[in-house]
Chains A and B, each alone.
Chain A
């Protein structure tokens, strides 16, 4: 493994001095010039040079003669592969660029083409740089000399070229390659390629007998050659078949979509297909109308090249799907079968999008495939392209897709939540189809508790995707439950962990639990029937199945030993960001009732969170931000939820445990509890709130006098004072009471105990604020105006406009107050 020895080698390669490097260049040039077979010394030196040029991010510039030499040698065909690779690698990593010299040197012989192309492609900066390579390859494709060898990597190179620049090929060239692809895909030999080793003396005649290729299960292959056919050796056409299939998806995506030649006929087939559907409901039986449609788009040699390729690619995929049913003798071939299913269904999907007449031909095969795979979890990843196919085409073919989506959304997340690749593919499928899923597949939104399982399990890797997905899962019906689920996400992570452990360990193997007795006891609880309902609730697959909020505390207690486990902590870290997404989005569609409900959830859940310290602190911050937003949006929620708010704000315990949220709630009461915002805001209601908060302030001062040290943050005290004054300004009978409270507060702030525990500035701040408010309240009508800025503040203008009335009003009032207080002092 990576060692200090390696590290010092990297260091050496990076820090080599110019002088030494030039000597080394010279030595390599000499070695390469020597007109003999290059031996191990040359290889060794080239390998070192390769390390030197690639070891840093800063490019090394080779001397011109050495560069020239390497280029010439790369273009000549006489060297063994190791040299070719080393030349390629050194030229690719170093400067000056070799693009032009190498492109110009592309010879008739194609053996070095792939290496040359590797350098040119990696150094190319624009289309012109790669054009010569492209032309070179096409020229060899075009020349029909029977013995004309083509570069075996022609198709991979072309594939790279067209992803870089699709317009690099002209229409004619696209047709040429399309024709070639048809030949390779559909007409590769079914006999094994000529074996390299000629048989011994006795076996001579027998080896000349053509040997057929077989299927992956050993049966003799019928029909035509595909990548799922095996033989002892392969001929060039079979290799090209493999390369062609490997790139056909990209090719179709790049050139089939343009539909230049196929546009009209495809449109025609679509109309014919629709007609056939109208005429014959039993569209899956081989009705005469439909077979006429498929006849127009199939098998005829007269089709334009692109459509012919589409047809042949379709047939190929069809055959692959059939072949994937065979029981492979090698495990690697089983894996290949899965990859082939994914590719085949995806290609069929592409073709059906281009020419809907194929939908009808594809469905029986895809449907049968689904029937075959749906029961097997090992094929779960192959089901995702099938689901995509159903999503795109089932409506047109009038095929029921319910079962497919049930499998996808219900079964996979709950059983395969710990498969990272499936999770990724599942989430990308949802991302790519969000719009269709949220409108067209009811089960999608319904299954959000299940969909969250992937997130809970692999939070860091998937959080960015879920930030995009979350809005598509939200609607008025699910919003509240989603909010609860997000808050419970770390519990879900812990429970999934238990589920996995429980599945992998039997009770008798308890000794093996390596995470100590803590996890063992949680695991015990997980299996107990009395907790079963709780865990089932957390693991529920769909929305709306049960609500155990009153027993959540119990769940948190049971799971408390897992709160520090890394998976749970990682999961807890993503919750705040998702909550932000949730609230930013929910405000787009929520009505007043829902907003009220959400605010209530925040208040309730603030004392019902899984006990992870940092998680709680972060969440209170998020709650504070968003309860402010909610109130601003619908201030009447203060009236709707007055009882809960009062309970919350009236409890001094909340100051200790959730200072941030508490301060914000108190501030909100002062800011929005006003008849301006809600006509139901009666004097009685204001008085009730006032009395609640007054009691808190009183309690604070009492505590201060009896116990030390006081631990209420000064900010809470000032916010309480201000809120009380605001309420009093709206119901002026309360003014004497608040003035009394304020003056008490001043006295106590000066008390020895308090002075000892607050900094001087804090004490000063409290006293000043109390004085200001007392003075302000002496002019009730002014106080009413100053202390009720919320409605005025709605206009963003007054922040920037110095001529707006509020700043001026403030200045006037402060002038007045000064005058009055100096008057009082002098009087």
Chain B
């Protein structure tokens, strides 16, 4: 056996799943310090490496990590926009395709301990003043992850009317869960061809319309 070969095995089997998904702000929010980011939706998949034994403190640690992540991504988005010299075109409801077309996309690596115990890859999609962020294990198929992230972002934009002034993102967040339940069940990225996607989309459009 080729056990001496360097490879993913040595980093443990934790290497091909999505760990969490976030939607958060990348603009300044009056109640937050500069550089802060408001997490509007977060979903952590499955058990995570968390040293706290008390459930309340476990949850706190988890949320603190997500906040640190959101701040990190916010900085990345801002740096990216600065460097590219792009100015945000304000889009209104109905212009989702334009907003997504202009969205910035980036990838970054989180070293172990910053803030998750193990190394992670972060994919982000900056749409106007929001970012959609997917945190994956190191060896995830990034082409698949990117496609999934864009798909989820599109659904969120359209179904939660994110370009409008409403509060759907906060009050109807169960729809995001329904979305993730299909496209990233338990953190598993799926190889969906257009027919699989179509069937899931159809299921989703029936969601909540009883």
> Do A and B share a complex?
yes
User: Which A residues fall within an 8 A CB radius of B?
Assistant: 1-7, 9-11, 13, 43, 46-48, 50-51, 54-55, 57-59, 80-82, 85-86, 88-89, 95-97, 114, 117-118, 121-125, 129-130, 153, 155-157, 159-164, 166, 216, 227-234, 239, 242-243, 245-247, 249-250, 253-254, 257, 259, 263, 266-267, 330, 332-333, 335-336, 338-340, 342-343, 346, 350, 353-354, 356, 381-382, 392, 420-421, 423-425, 428, 432-433, 435-436, 458, 460-461, 464-465, 515, 565-567, 570
Q: With A and B bound together, what is the CA distance between A80 and B207 in angstroms?
A: 9
The 6 A-B pairs of least Cβ separation, nearest first, read: A57-B63, A156-B188, A424-B107, A254-B13, A567-B83, A160-B46
B58 CB within 8 Å of chain A: yes
Give the B interface residue count (CB, 8 A).
92
Our pick among A9, A50, A125, A342 for the contact of B141 (Cβ within 8 Å) is: A342
The one of B8, B147, B207 in contact with A253, judged by C-beta atoms closer than 8 angstroms, is: B8
Select A243's contact among B25, B190, B194, beta carbons within 8 Å: B190
**Can you name 28 A-B residue pairings with CB atoms under 8 Å?**
A1-B130, A1-B162, A2-B29, A2-B169, A58-B59, A59-B55, A86-B174, A89-B173, A117-B186, A118-B186, A121-B47, A125-B53, A159-B186, A233-B195, A233-B199, A239-B196, A246-B189, A250-B13, A250-B17, A254-B13, A332-B147, A332-B193, A339-B191, A340-B191, A346-B141, A424-B109, A436-B6, A460-B76
Q: Is there an interface contact between A7 and B31, defined as CB atoms closer than 8 Å?
A: yes
CA distance A46 to B130 in the complex (A): 25
B99: shortest Cβ distance to chain A, in Å? 9
CB distance from A131 to the nearest CB of B (A): 12
**Across the two chains, which residue of chain A brings its CB closest to B87?**
A514
Q: Contact check, B170 vs A420: say whether CB atoms are below 8 A apart.
A: no
**Which residues of the other chain, B, contact A13 by a CB distance below 8 angstroms?**
170
Cβ 8 A contact of A82, one of B55, B190, B197, B210: B210
A529 to chain B, nearest CB (A): 28
Tell me, in angstroms, the Cα distance from A364 to B54 when the chains sit together: 55
Are A353 and B7 in contact, with the CB atoms below 8 A? yes
Please state if A10 and B170 are interface contacts (CB–CB under 8 Å): yes
Minimum CB–CB distance from B174 to chain A (whole Å) comes to 5
Query: Contact between A464 and B55 (Cβ–Cβ < 8 Å)?
Result: no
User: Closest A-chain residue to B203, C-beta based?
Assistant: A81
A354 touches B17 (CB 8 A): no
Q: Is the beta-carbon distance between B177 and A89 smaller than 8 angstroms?
A: yes
Q: Residue of B at shortest CB range from A332?
A: B194
C-alpha spacing A231/B199, complex, angstroms:
11
CA separation between A570 and B75, bound complex, in Å?
13
Bound complex: CA A259 to CA B40 (Å)? 45
Known: A163-B14, A245-B191. A121 touches B46 (CB 8 A): yes
B103 at the interface (CB under 8 A from A): no
Contacts of A465 on B, CB cut-off 8 Å?
A: 109
B185 contact from A156, A164, A166, A230, Cβ within 8 A = A156
Residues of chain B contacted by A114 (CB below 8 angstroms): 181, 185-186
Give the complex CA separation of A160 and B137 in angstroms. 12
B210 and A80 contact, CB distance less than 8 A: yes
Say if the beta carbon of B36 comes within 8 Å of chain A: no
Other-chain residue from A130, A242, A420 in contact with B196 (beta carbon distance below 8 A): A242
Cβ–Cβ < 8 Å partners of A161 in chain B: 46
B173: nearest residue on chain A (CB-CB)?
A50
**Which chain A residue has the least Cβ–Cβ distance from B45?**
A160
B44 contacts partner chain A, Cβ-Cβ < 8 Å:
yes
For the complex formed, measure the closest distance between the CB of A444 and the CB atoms of chain B, giving whole angstroms: 15
When the two chains form their complex, are residues A57 and B59 in contact, meaning their CB atoms are under 8 A apart? Answer: yes
Out of B47, B84, B167, B193, name the residue touching A228 (CB < 8 Å).
B193
* Contact B79 A570, beta carbon cutoff 8 Å: yes
Out of A43, A54, A122, A566, name the residue touching B82 (CB < 8 Å).
Answer: A566
Q: How far is the CB of B112 from chain A (nearest CB, A)?
A: 12
Q: When the two chains form their complex, are residues A428 and B186 in contact, meaning their CB atoms are under 8 A apart?
A: no
Which residues 96-131 of B have a CB within 8 angstroms of A? 105-109, 111, 121, 123, 128-130
Complex contact A2–B40 (CB within 8 A):
yes
A153 to B1, CA, bound (A): 33
Query: A227 CA to B56 CA in the complex, in Å?
Result: 42
B205 at the interface (CB under 8 A from A): no
- Determine whether the beta carbon of A421 is less than 8 Å from that of B194: no
Let me know if A85 and B177 touch, CB within 8 A. yes
* The one of A7, A88, A336 that contacts B38, using a Cβ cutoff of 8 Å: A7
The residue among B40, B46, B75 with the most chain A CB atoms within 10 A of its own CB is B46
Within 8 Å by CB of A47, from B129, B174, B192, lies B174
Query: Is the pair A7, B186 in contact by a Cβ cutoff of 8 Å?
Result: no
For residue A153, which residue of chain B has the nearest CB? Answer: B185
Interface contact B147-A339, CB-CB below 8 Å: yes
How far is it, in angstroms, between the C-alpha of A239 and the C-alpha of B196 when the chains are bound?
Answer: 8
CB contacts (< 8 Å) of A342 on chain B: these are 141, 143-144
Cβ–Cβ contact A81 & B178, under 8 A: yes
Residue of B53, B75, B83 near A566 (CB, 8 A) is: B83
Chain B residue with Cβ nearest A51: B170
Q: Is the CB of B40 within 8 A of A6?
A: yes
Q: Kindly list chain A residues whose C-beta atoms are within 8 Å of the C-beta of B47.
A: 121-122, 124-125, 129-130, 160, 164
User: Contact check: which of A160, A267, A433 meets B6 at CB < 8 Å?
Assistant: A433
- B129 CB to closest chain A CB, in angstroms? 5
Contact of B195 with A230 in the complex, beta carbons under 8 Å: yes
- Apart from A242-B191, A254-B13, what 5 extra A-B contacts exist at CB < 8 Å? A85-B181, A95-B56, A263-B1, A330-B194, A424-B107
Residue B163 interfacial (CB < 8 Å): yes
Whether B2 lies near A356 (C-beta < 8 A) is yes
Q: What are the interface flags for B16-42 relative to A under an 8 Å C-beta threshold, 1 for contact and 0 otherwise? A: 110000000101011100000010101
Q: Is the CB of B105 within 8 A of A160?
A: no
Contact B15 A250 (CB under 8 A): yes
Tell me, in angstroms, the Cα distance from A432 to B63 when the chains sit together. 30
The residue of chain A having its C-beta at the shortest distance from the C-beta of B5 within the complex is A353
Residue of B nearest to A61 (CB): B56
Q: Which residues of B contact A336 (CB under 8 A)?
A: 147, 191-194
- Minimum CB distance partner of B202 in chain A: A196
Q: Does A59 lie within 8 Å of B59, measured CB to CB?
A: yes
- A88→B9 CA distance, assembly (Å): 34
Contact A354 B137 (CB under 8 A): no
Q: A57-B64, A124-B47, A125-B58 are in contact. Are A343 and B194 (CB under 8 A)?
A: no
- The proximity string for B residues 47-88 relative to A, scoring 1 for CB distances below 8 Å and 0 otherwise, is 100100101101110011001000000011001101111000
Q: Are B173 and A381 in contact (CB under 8 A)?
A: no
Contact between B31 and A230 (Cβ–Cβ < 8 Å)? no
The interface residues of chain A lying within 8 Å CB-to-CB of B138 are 428
- Whether B2 and A353, one on each chain, are in contact in the complex, defined by CB atoms closer than 8 angstroms, is yes
Interface centre among A51, A339, A381, A464 (most CB of B within 10 A): A339
Known: A157-B186, A343-B144, A356-B2. A216 touches B193 (CB 8 A): yes
Which chain A residue has the least Cβ–Cβ distance from B54? Answer: A125
Say yes or no: A227-B193 contact (C-beta < 8 A), given A88-B177, A428-B109: yes
Are A246's CB and B186's CB within 8 A?
Answer: no
User: Once the chains are docked, how many angstroms separate the CA of A354 from the CA of B189?
Assistant: 24
* A residues in contact with B189, CB < 8 Å: 246
Q: Which residues of B contact A461 (CB under 8 A)?
A: 76, 79-80, 106-108
In chain B, what residue has the closest Cβ to A382?
B143
Chain B residues contacting A7 (CB-CB under 8 Å) are 29-31, 38
User: Which of chain B's residues have a CB closer than 8 A to the CB of A460?
Assistant: 75-76, 79
B contact residues around A129 at 8 Å (CB): 47
Q: Which residues of A contact B106 (CB under 8 A)?
A: 420, 458, 461
Chain B residues within 8 Å of A464, by CB: 109, 111
| Given A47-B172, A339-B143; A515-B85 close (CB under 8 Å) | yes
Minimum CB–CB distance from A429 to chain B (whole Å) comes to 11
For residue A233, which residues in chain B have a CB less than 8 angstroms away from its CB?
Answer: 195, 199
Determine if B144 and A421 form an interchain contact, defined as CB atoms under 8 angstroms apart. Answer: no
Residues of B within 8 A of A339 (CB): 141, 143-144, 147, 191
Query: Which residues of B (138-184) have their CB < 8 Å from a CB of A?
Result: 138, 141-144, 146-147, 162-163, 165-167, 169-174, 177-178, 181
A581→B146 CA distance, assembly (Å): 32
For residue B25, give the distance in angstroms from its CB to the closest CB of chain A: 5
Q: What chain B residues lie within 8 Å of A85 (beta carbons)? A: 174, 177-178, 181
